[in-house]
Amino acid sequence: MGLALSPRWGTAAAPRIVKVKAFEFAYEPKQITVPPGAVEFDVTNTGSIEHTFLIDDPAKKTVGKIASILPGKTEKLTVTLRAGAHTIYCDLAGHREAGMIASLKVQP
């Protein structure tokens, strides 16, 4: 996936950075809004068990994934997002059902 350059948001060298906390069993913040383009998610596991971090686009296609974040660790994910309502969630067994889901709005 190439970096979509938006003239409004500067160069690819400096993606917007969004910090997220993952823990049992939620993400913080629960609602995130970003403009279209490249976004770097810095996801810190502040809980005590493993978590993951996935982003599904409005068509429910997964556009980015951090497959494992151990407690106390921060993992980074850079994705290029198009406008629309995305979903962030953890795909470990039972975690999404228990509350590990967040909304990601991508709007200009």
Partner 1 sequence: MKQDDLRDEALYLQTRADELAWHRAHALGVSRRRFLQLAASAAALAAADTLGRAGNGSQAAPADLIVKPTPPEWFYDFASNKEMRWENMAGRGYLVPNELFFVRDHSRTPRIEASTWRLKVEGSGVSRPLELSYDDILSLPETSVIRYVECAGNGRSFFEGAYGKRASGTQWKLGAIGVAEWTGVPLREVLDRAGLKQTARDVMPEGLDELRVRRPMSIAKALEDDTLLVYAMNGSPLPPDHGFPVRVLAPGWVGVANVKWVGRLEVSEQPLFTPWNTDNYVLIGPDYAPVPPAKGPVLTTQSPKSAFEVPWDGELPAGRRTIRGRSWSPFGKITRVEYSVDRGITWQTATLREPNIPRAWVRWDFEWEAKPGSYSLRARATDEQGNRQPATVPFNELGYLFNAVIGHPLTIRP
Q: Which residues bind Cu ion (CB under 5 A)?
A: 51, 90, 92, 95, 100
Cα–Cα distance for residue pair 63/80, rounded to 1 Å: 8
Does 40 bind partner 1 (CB under 8 A)? Our answer is: no
SS3 percent helix, strand, coil of the chain, rounded to 5, is 5, 55, 45
Phi, psi of 8 (to 5 degrees): -80, -20
Give 8's DSSP letter: G
Would you give the binding string for partner 1 spanning residues 41-80, x where CB under 8 A is met? -------xxx-x-x-------x--x-xx-xx---------
d(CA 63, CA 74): 19
Output the smallest distance, CB 88 to partner 1, in A: 14
Minimum Å gap between C-beta 90 and Cu ion is 3
Nearer to Cu ion, 79 or 100 (CB): 100
Residue 60 binding partner per list Cu ion, partner 1, none, with a CB distance cut-off of 5 to 8 Å that depends on partner kind: none
73 contact partners, CB below 8 Å, separation of at least 6: 44, 45
Question: Whose Cβ is closer to partner 1: residue 2's or residue 48's?
Answer: 48
CB 3, min distance to partner 1, A: 19
